[in-house]
Amino acid sequence: MSFAAFHFLRPEWLWAILPAAALGWLVLRNRDGDAANGWAKLVDAHLLQHLAISGATAKRSLLVPVAGFAAVIVTILAIAGPTWEKSEVPSFEGGEPVVAVLSLAQSMNANDLTPTRLKRSVHKLRDILQRTQGDERGLVIYSDAPFVAAPLTSDPKVIEQMLPELSTSLMPVLGNRLDLAIGEAQAMLERGNAPSGRIIVIADDAGNDPEASITAARAAARAGFEVSVLAAGTEEGAILQTADGRAIASQDGQTFITHLSKDELEQIASAGDGVFTMITPGNADLNELLPLGSDGQVAAGDRQDFQADTWVDMGYWLLILPVLLMPFAFRRGLILSLSLFAAGVVMQPGSVRADTWDDLWATPNQQGQSAFDEARFDDAAALFDASDWKASADYRAGDYASAAEGFADDNYNLGNALAKGGQFQEALAAYDAALEVAPDDEDAQFNRDLIAKLLEQQKQQEQQQDQQQSQDQQQSQDQQQQEQQQSQDQQQGGEGQPQQQDQGGQQDQQPGQQQEQSGAEQNAQEQQGGSETDQQEQQADAGKQDSADEQAGDEAQPEQQQAEAGDETAEQTADAEQAQDRDEESGLSNLLSDLLGDQSGEEPQEAVEASVPGAQPINQAVEQQLRRVPDDPSGLLRARIRQHYAQARARN
């Protein structure tokens, strides 16, 4: 602290000490006199001396007026603003606000500028945002009517995030009313209480009514707002086409050529006291629209480096003394009362003391809101008195059953809670109830269609699972029948071999009989040779039987191995299906969290399923179906535009 720099920021308030001192002196001077004169009129003189207050009692009675006088003096000093140190603060204030007016007429799809007039205009608009860094900027888009895409803001990201979504297909009605767009930009600047500003029109013609556009630019200039024009296109022109690049032709197939209305746009810039320039590949066009340094303004890149020193007002520290002295102005025994109160608070249990202290400064709903903002959703649910806020906290905490009870009167949020809990049928009914109240609620309709698709996919999956189980059972039965048939075939093969041997013996005996019938000339040696031949044939038949048994055994082994391999394959298929089910449940849970706006973070799937009984199984086909939903980043802006048009029709 440097006392050499000590001074008062508002020293004129020090003159108030004089009347305060005079008032205090009068109060002290007349305090005893007034009391004595008042009693003298009512009490005898010999009794008055017994009623007079003097001595130590009189000195003690001065405590209240002296404390009050000191509090007044210190308050005056605090208002005067004592200070002795400085602090640095940014000294640069943004320049004039800038509002860009961008045409979304069909002619902006022409490709005489690469890639199209609209895309080149969007690139230039991004450069304008960078050039006007630190200023307030707004964006108005128009076709048959203007629409405020972004009100005045000092954050360029608000508009930059919107630029990739700009397309002529956003506007539901064809048209080109530049005059209304200039008037909307002027109204935006007036609502922002801007004494001056700039309106930059980015278009290829003067609209359906050029004279009205010139009049609107002249009116904006009279209000203090400069209207400049950045022309998009060439005088040679190009074929008129749609946003997707298809040429627009008449019934006889003749195409249309759209040209740049340079003369009319120059008249608009002249009427608006602004600048006219055409889009160029470099920065020459921006240097004409927003020159740097030529008018004494600071370049955008240097604005953040300017700092200024300002004195810090320390008067608030002096207010502590009046706050401490104010209790003495009330009643006697206040210190004792405060001591007893403090002792009672200290003697309470710690948790009760904490709750009492919090309740002194905030209501339960305010405490719950604070916990909700800090992502302590369980604590917030316990603190909230309002049922809707309590249900929201339960929803964020993952307690979807409690959230569903709290959202009983709010069908849309009830549907979200039931959907997150896996109760899709109940969620579908809740969304239907919400749409009965608000048929135009796009969020409820989208969620309702999503849940309907989920239910349809689950039904299809259940049917597929039933069919798969039936096929598995049928294959198992066929395999058992095949094994039984093979066993029967083997048994029949074992019984058939002896029969073949018997038949073979009979066939062997027939030549012997024929030989016996041929004549009696056969001798004993021939009979002995025939006997030996029969024995060799029987041995050969026995060898054939052993070979057949071995071959049957060899054929049975591959069939057993094939059966075992089929069992292993079935087990692996079952394991894969279980793993797939687990992945599907996790995938759809995450997907529902994104779609329904869950910001509570990741939670175990088991906890979600346990929170709501009757949760339905989730399949991967549903997730794949949801991934096929087209991503439409311009949906929000398109919805805002549709709502704007609907409100305009309702007013008319």
Residue 584 predicted with pLDDT over 80: no
Dihedral of CA atoms 121, 127, 133, 137 in degrees, nearest 10, equals 0
User: What is the pLDDT at residue 452?
Assistant: 86
In a domain, 285, yes or no: yes
Residues 263/208, Cβ–Cβ less than 8 Å: no
> Nearest 5°: phi and psi at 151?
-70, 180
**CA 144 from chain center: how many Å?**
32
Closest-CA residue to 242 (of 176, 169, 163, 144): 169
In a domain, 507, yes or no: no
Same structural domain for residues 280 and 406? Answer: no
Residue 223 belongs to a domain with what CATH number?
3.40.50.410
In a domain, 299, yes or no: yes
Same structural domain for residues 120 and 56? Answer: no
Residues 334/327, Cβ–Cβ less than 8 Å: yes
pLDDT digits (tens, 9 = 90+) for 243-283: 888 888 888 888 889 899 999 999 999 999 999 999 998 88
Query: 390 or 334: whose pLDDT is higher?
Result: 390
Same structural domain for residues 133 and 274? Answer: yes
Lowest mean pLDDT among 15-29, 481-495, 564-578: 564-578
Residue 220 predicted with pLDDT over 90: yes
249-253, 505-509, 572-576: which is most confident: 249-253
Query: 273 or 37: whose pLDDT is higher?
Result: 273
Average pLDDT over residues 574-584: 50
- Spatial neighbors of 410 by CB under 8 A, at least 6 apart, are 388, 391
In a domain, 372, yes or no: no
Average pLDDT over residues 197-221: 94
Same structural domain for residues 259 and 160? Answer: yes
User: What is the pLDDT at residue 629?
Assistant: 61
DSSP 511-566: HHHHHHHH-TT--HHHHHHHHHHHHHHHHHHHHHHHHHHHHHHHHHHHHHHHHHHH
Same structural domain for residues 318 and 415? Answer: no
In a domain, 378, yes or no: no
In a domain, 525, yes or no: no
Query: 179 or 604: whose pLDDT is higher?
Result: 179
pLDDT band for 539, please (50, 70, 90 cuts): very low
Residues 174/144, Cβ–Cβ less than 8 Å: yes
DSSP letter (8 states) at residue 148: E
Same structural domain for residues 140 and 229? Answer: yes
Amino acid at 81: G
pLDDT band for 335, please (50, 70, 90 cuts): low
pLDDT band for 317, please (50, 70, 90 cuts): confident
Query: 424 or 179: whose pLDDT is higher?
Result: 179
Lowest mean pLDDT among 131-135, 455-459, 606-610: 606-610
Angle between helical axes of 387-397 and 364-373 (0-180°, round to 10):
30
161-175, 471-485, 571-585: which is most confident: 161-175
Same structural domain for residues 221 and 283? Answer: yes
pLDDT digits (tens, 9 = 90+) for 346-382: 444 444 444 555 666 678 888 888 888 888 888 888 8
User: What is the pLDDT at residue 84?
Assistant: 85
Between CA 336 and CA 351 the distance in angstroms is: 26
Same structural domain for residues 149 and 215? Answer: yes
Same structural domain for residues 320 and 408? Answer: no
Same structural domain for residues 16 and 77? Answer: yes
pLDDT band for 519, please (50, 70, 90 cuts): very low
Averaged confidence pLDDT in the chain: 72
In a domain, 391, yes or no: no
Residues 605/586, Cβ–Cβ less than 8 Å: yes
Residue span of the structural domain in which 428 resides: 399-467+583-652
- Bond prior to 115 in cis (omega within 30° of 0): yes
Same structural domain for residues 236 and 117? Answer: yes
User: What is the pLDDT at residue 251?
Assistant: 81
437-to-236, 370, 403 alpha-carbon distances in Å: 54, 32, 21
The C-alpha R_g of the chain, in whole angstroms, comes to 48
User: What is the pLDDT at residue 642?
Assistant: 75
Query: 143 or 405: whose pLDDT is higher?
Result: 143
- Spatial neighbors of 172 by CB under 8 A, at least 6 apart, are 641, 642, 645
Same structural domain for residues 210 and 74? Answer: no
CB-hemisphere CA count at 13 Å for 332? 4
Q: How many structural domains are present in the chain?
A: 3
pLDDT digits (tens, 9 = 90+) for 373-421: 888 888 888 888 877 788 888 888 888 778 777 665 567 777 777 887 7
444-to-83, 428, 453, 643 alpha-carbon distances in Å: 59, 10, 14, 16
In a domain, 570, yes or no: no
β-bridge partners, 278:
231
Residue 518 predicted with pLDDT over 60: no
